[in-house]
Structure 1
Amino acid sequence: MSETIYGFIGLGNMGGPMAGRLLDAGHVLHVTDSDPAVMQRLVARGAVAHDSAQSVGDSADVVFLSLPDGKVVQSVLSGEHGLARSSRAKCVVDLSTIGPAAAQRAFEILAEQGIEYVDAPVSGGVTGAERGTLAVMVACLPARYEALTQVLGNFGKLFYLGAQAGQAQVMKLANNLLSATAVAITSEAMALGVKAGLDASVMIDVINAGSGRNSATMEKFPRAVLTGTFDVGFAARLAHKDVRLCLEEAERNGVPMVVGSSVREMLVMTTAIRGQNADYSDVARVVEDWAGVKVRAKS
């Protein structure tokens, strides 16, 4: 049986480390990205560079995508030199967060060319991508899931969500809504405590030992807010995109999201105030400015 050859399109904060893990596992890997610099970092580790998605698909059996949104995914699939035009690829594994409607469109585009689409968004941030500890949510036919289990295991723990494209996206959006809500409400709680005279580091320790602990108090605040670096590595505008997609899906399903709507507005304001390059953790900086405090560890 011949060796499966893999491709990877999108080598940014998440895609780069994931592609690197495939190289570390000894796989032949063909790559492309709009940024030549990030592509060259992987070429230096043994990857083969290409100038288009179609070229990657002409060289690989299974192609992974890690892209910012559904519009970019559709362009990569059906553009002038898109993946759907490739001669070799028979499976596309989409690790992006694009929402269920975009996943279904991607499935249809590829199905017309006889290419399987695997809906497989991931969660766990850049650190999880580097360490191979991501949660990998997968929706595809059971036989394809079984065939991909070993290679997807390089990225983290797998969760099978069913055969229908888009189901894994629903799971990812629900997860990201919770994550964004944790960041927003932790920002407010921490600003209150510091304004009232509490030590930010002690607050985090107490919360993490009690019932209020969450992903923001355990990871994001100690790393990026208490240090004043604001460098989680995930853009606030992308967090807003994910929450917006979640609310759109909730509306389609008749599920009210009062809290979710407030979180979306907080992310809109963060991007408006801090700019398009604002980090996810800049939500806390906006609340700090409003409250007139700095949530920092004491040196």
Structure 2
Amino acid sequence: MTKKLGFIGIGRMGAPMARRLIAAGYSVTVFDPSADAIAELVKAGAQAASNPAEVSAAAEIVLLSLPTPEIVKDAALGANGLTTSAGLRIVIDLSTTGPRGAKVLAEGLAAHGVGAVDCPVSGGVAGAASGKLSLMAACAPELFAEVEPILLNFGKITHVGNEPGQAQLIKVINNLMSVTALAIASEGLVLAQKAGIDPAMLMQVVNTGSGRSNASEDKIPKYVLTRSFDFGFALGLSAKDVRLCLDEAEALGVPMIVGSAARQLLTVAKGQLGADGDLTALIKPIEGWAGVEVGDGFGSKA
């Protein structure tokens, strides 16, 4: 197994994952549009590159953690992209790009004799830092056998299929289910507040019953009831993930009635709070419509 890796995308998720690889003894060459992000990783022991081509010139296996399918495609296949340097063998895409994006990437890489590992992750920034992410990988079995030791540094991994796009579909379904749980829990909180019921007590009861979810057990107590709204995942990125899921559902002829409603609420929240607004602030438009504000304390009014 090569000990020389490349990593492109040193953001909130990419930075802690790259740090874990450095700590595991890999030599990691990094690139990101942010010079400050690169500088922080260099301090941790990484080598800096000025573009993706320099990354692939230094490493046979390159990992990507980027925000959109378009940016992933450009980093891999564009001018000064990964495929413009010789020696690249495998690209592991940790981004959420949707099934179609994964297939486009795999086909483009295959034309250059490079293998693609479709490997989105779930678990947020905290999971990336602690090595407790959930990873799903779709690729040929021989590719999976080679990259599994690398990916185990990030958390638990499941080989979900051999075809690029299969892992992406699972990831966007997961993200749609997650945001839908947050949306309905947010509506429930506002309803309780309006009716004079302590929203914190509501969550305590829900979490001992059948309505519990990651939203009720984690996101709401930590980021909504405290009014910190700093979970660390942007409304714009969540809207992108939901769009990718619903686009695939439409292509396959599968109705997504509840998912479409969640998308509408995301669209409203993004319009009011901006694409960089925190996902857990999804409750704010609902509060505005109802004329109440849910907080850690009880009975506050907007």
TM-score, normalised on structure 2?
A: 0.96
Q: Which residue of 2 aligns with 1:162?
A: 161
- For residues 222 and 38 of structure 1, the distance between their equivalents in structure 2, rounded to whole angstroms, comes to 31
Is residue 236 from structure 1 mapped to residue 235 from structure 2 by the alignment?
Answer: yes
Contact 1:4-1:61 at 8 Å conserved across structures: no
**Partner in structure 1 of residue 121 of structure 2:** 122
- Measured against aligned partners, the alpha-carbon deviations of 1:176-218 in whole angstroms (never above 9, x if no partner) come to 1101101111110010011111222211111111111111111
| CA drift at 1:19 | 0.8
Deviations 1:3-35 (A, max 9, x none): 431110001111111111111111110000011
State the SS of the aligned residue for 2:172: helix
Distance 1:89 1:4 in 2: 14
Root-mean-square deviation (Å): 1.1
Look up the SS of the partner of 2:106 in the other structure.
helix
Aligned letter for 2:36? Answer: A
Matched with 1:93 is: 92
8 Å CA contact 1:4–1:62 kept in 2: the answer is: no
| Code of the aligned partner of 1:292 | G
Provide the C-alpha distance between the structure 2 equivalents of 1:13 and 1:222, rounded to a whole number of angstroms: 22
Unaligned runs of 5+ in 1: none
Q: Does 1:293 align with 2:292?
A: yes
Deviation at 1:62, TM superposition (A): 0.7
The SS at the match of 1:211 is coil
Cα separation, 2, equivalents of 1:131 and 1:295: 31
**Partner of 1:34 in structure 2?**
33
- Taking every aligned residue pair, what percent have the same amino acid on both sides? 44
| Distance (whole Å) between structure 2 residues aligned to residue 288 and residue 222 of structure 1 | 17
Residue 267 of structure 1 corresponds to 266
Residues 1:10 and 2:9 aligned together: yes
What is the 5 A alignment of 1:96-107? 96-107=95-106
Distance 1:194 1:48 in 2: 52
Aligned length: 298
| Aligned equivalents of 2:145, 2:272: Cα separation in 1 | 46
| CA contact 1:32–1:51 (8 Å) conserved in 2 | yes
Greater CA deviation, 286-295 or 73-82? 286-295
Summarize the alignment of residues 1-299 of structure 1 with structure 2, pairs less than 5 Å apart.
3-298=2-297
Q: 1:3–1:108: structure 2 CA closer, same or farther, 3 Å change rule?
A: closer
Once the 2 structures are TM-superposed, how far is the Cα of residue 239 of structure 1 from its aligned partner? 0.5
Aligned mates of 2:248, 2:90 — CA distance in 1: 26
Task: Write out per-residue CA displacement over residues 143-191 of structure 1, whole angstroms, 9 at most, x where no aligned residue.
Answer: 1111111110011111111110000001001101101101111110010
Asked whether the 8 Å contact 2:237–2:275 carries over to 1, the reply is: no
Runs (4+) of structure 1 moved beyond 2 Å? Answer: none
Q: CA deviation at 1:276?
A: 2.3
Task: Specify the code of the residue in structure 1 equivalent to 2:214.
Answer: S
* Residue type of the alignment partner of 1:22: L
Q: Secondary structure at the match of 2:44?
A: coil
* Secondary structure class of the residue paired with 2:30: strand
Counterpart secondary structure, 1:281: helix
Question: What CA deviation, in whole Å up to 9, does each residue of 1:223-265 have, x standing for no partner?
Answer: 1111111111001011111111101111111111011111111
Contact 1:199–1:297 (8 Å) recurs in 2: no
Q: State the alpha-carbon separation in 1 of the partners of residues 36 and 199 from structure 2.
A: 39
TM-score, normalising length: structure 1: 0.97
Q: Cα distance, 1:298 vs. partner? A: 2.1
Per-residue deviation, residues 82-137 of structure 1 (Å, max 9, x unmatched): 01112222100000000111111100111111111110000111111111111100
User: Which deviates further from its counterpart, 165-174 or 288-297?
Assistant: 288-297
Partners of 1:197 and 1:24 lie apart in 2 by: 51
Aligned partner of residue 255 in structure 1, secondary structure: coil
- C-alpha contact (below 8 Å) 2:235/2:274 kept by paired residues: no
Rounded Cα–Cα distance in structure 2 between residues aligned with 1:35 and 1:11: 8
Show structure 2 runs of 5+ residues with no match. Answer: none
Secondary structure of 2:231's counterpart equals coil
